[in-house]
Structure formats: structure tokens, C-alpha cells
Amino acid sequence: MAGPRIFWLTSSDRMVSSSGERSALFPGEELSVHLTRSLRCQKGDRFSFCEPDSGRVFAGEVAGLSPLSLELVLLEKAQSSPEESSRCRFSMAIAPIKGDFLSQTLSQAAMCGIDRLIWLSTDRGVVKWDAEEFSRKKGRMEAVIREKSQLAGRTSRMSLESPVTLPELAMAPDRSFLFFDEAASSWISEKPWWEDVLSEFAGKAGNRELVGLIGPEGGWSNRERDFLKSLPKDRVFSGTLGPLILSAEAAILSVISFLGIAGGYYRHSSLNRG
């Protein structure tokens, strides 16, 4: 990709309302450097901007270069509707794994449209993160999410959750799970078992969340399996990813891809039908 499809506005970027839906933008140092030095912007050049927390999207045109300023126009049609924002979220819960895989996981999740990335504390996890370790890494993780979201043209922020156990994760009654079990023996090649689940949940309104579960490199413990089995059947949907055994890295990237992309497709389809 040549550069960001959209730029996220931050607290360092100053926006001054002028009239109606128009505003003047005076970019902070980071955005100014990117626009002037990396992209060599000129008067009249146009870029897209958004506020990822509010969902507001703007079309911007460079109005002046010294100092750099842009005229913004609010694009109402690009904002998320109340119906869309109340639809089921598609999230991932994964156990941290060893090696330099963090950046790739964050990049894939942000660019595929995952709503929330939750870190799991598991019985057999080789890598253990506590709240302090998560806090130490959070700034770097958020920087990766921002960069990749801008490249993908994403206007919403993927949230990060500090490490929790499965029982803690399941405390929210509106949270259901796709349990990808490497020990599962059944595989129906005609149709992926998760397709109907995604389609069904995409049409659900309210504060619902469907979370893809990927265990640690050492696999799920019997205690964790028994806990998932103890949950109501309408909250846990389980099966294998396919006839082949995948590494933790391959499983994570596979589930992120189809959960984010297919989940988003079904969610938009259900809105169009409704």
C-alpha cells in the first residue's frame, strides 16, 4: 500500500468549527510531518480523516502550507448508523505466544475489522502476561493498531483488553464463543461449521459479542475444556479449523481473517436486509 487510506485525528490535531459542517484543521506535529514531508502535500490536495472514537469521517482539502491547514467537511453518510453500532461485535481472545508475533497479530486483527482483541491467561500458556506487562506493551500495541487501521481505511478503533481467564471472560452473559478445538475429530468438508454461526450472530441486535477462542501452544487444559462444556450450549460453538493441524500462529491468523472479514460482511448484509 502506498500510504494511509484515512488519517486518524488525535488530541494533538486542532480542529476549529467554521460554519455548518465545515471546520478548519491545524494538524499536530506528527500529522504535519507525514503530510508535508512524506506525502509532500500541496494546496488543493485532498485527504480523508476520521475521529475513531466518535466515528465521524471528514473529507479534507489543504488550504494553506505555512502553517499547514486544511478545510474539513463532515461526511454524514460515512458515519456508523445507530443500527450498525448496536449489532453484534466480532472479537478475538488469544493466549500470547513466544516469538516476534505480536505485531503481526495486531496488524491482521486491525486490518480485518476485529472489534476487540482480548489476551487470555491460560493454564498451559508458555508466555504469561500480567497487568503490568500488558500496560508496558499497550502503547506499542496501540501504535501498531493506529498505523494499520489508517492503511486499511478503518474508521473505528479496535480495543485491547488486558489478560483474563476463561471464567472471567465468560462473566458477561451476552458474550458467546467460537471454540476452535484442535482435539475435535469431526470435519464436514462441504461447509465450514462456523459460517451459520457468524450469519446468525451478525443479525443480532443489542450488546452481543461473539469471541473467537484460540488456545496456547500447549493446548487447552482439561479444566478449561470442562469449563467451556459447562456453559449453556447457545453460548459455545465448537469445532476444528479443518483436517490439518495448524500451528498457534497459523490458527490465530486464520481465525482473525475469516471472523473479521466474513463477520463484517454478514453484519452489513443483515443491515441491508433489515
Domain spans of the chain? 7-78, 82-273
Q: Residue ranges of the alpha helices (H) in the chain?
A: 29-33, 82-85, 102-112, 131-152, 166-169, 194-202, 222-230, 248-273
Question: How far is the C-alpha of 146 from the C-alpha of 217, rounded, in Å?
Answer: 28
Beta carbons within 8 Å of 50's beta carbon, 6+ residues apart: 6, 7, 8, 9, 56, 57, 58, 155
Q: For residues 149 and 111, is the Cβ–Cβ distance under 8 A?
A: yes
Q: For residues 109 and 147, is the Cβ–Cβ distance under 8 A?
A: no
CA distances from 23 to 26, 30, 71, 204 (A): 10, 20, 6, 37
Question: How far is the C-alpha of 198 from the C-alpha of 210, rounded, in Å?
Answer: 8
Residue type present at position 266: Y
Residue 1 has a pLDDT of 46
Give the three cell numbers for residue 133.
Answer: 506487562
Give the three cell numbers for residue 166.
Answer: 476463561
- For 82-273, CATH gives 3.40.1280.10
Tell me what percent of the chain is helix, strand and coil, each rounded to the nearest 5: 35, 25, 40
Q: Which of 138, 146, 115, 140 is nearest to 50 (CA)?
A: 146
Question: How far is the C-alpha of 70 from the C-alpha of 31, rounded, in Å?
Answer: 12
Q: What are the pLDDT digits (tens) for 226-266?
A: 999 999 999 999 888 877 888 888 999 999 999 999 888 88
Task: Write out the H or E segment, with its range, that includes residue 177.
Answer: strand 175-180
Whether the full predicted model's pTM is greater than 0.85, yes or no, is: yes
Residue 82 has a pLDDT of 45
Question: Which residues of the chain register pLDDT less than 50?
Answer: 1, 78-83
The reply to whether 7-78 and 82-273 are identical in fold is no
Residue 79 has a pLDDT of 44
Q: For residues 110 and 261, is the Cβ–Cβ distance under 8 A?
A: no
Residue 189 has a pLDDT of 62
Question: How far is the C-alpha of 128 from the C-alpha of 124, rounded, in Å?
Answer: 10
CATH homologous superfamily of 7-78 equals Hypothetical PUA domain-like; domain 1 (2.40.240.20)
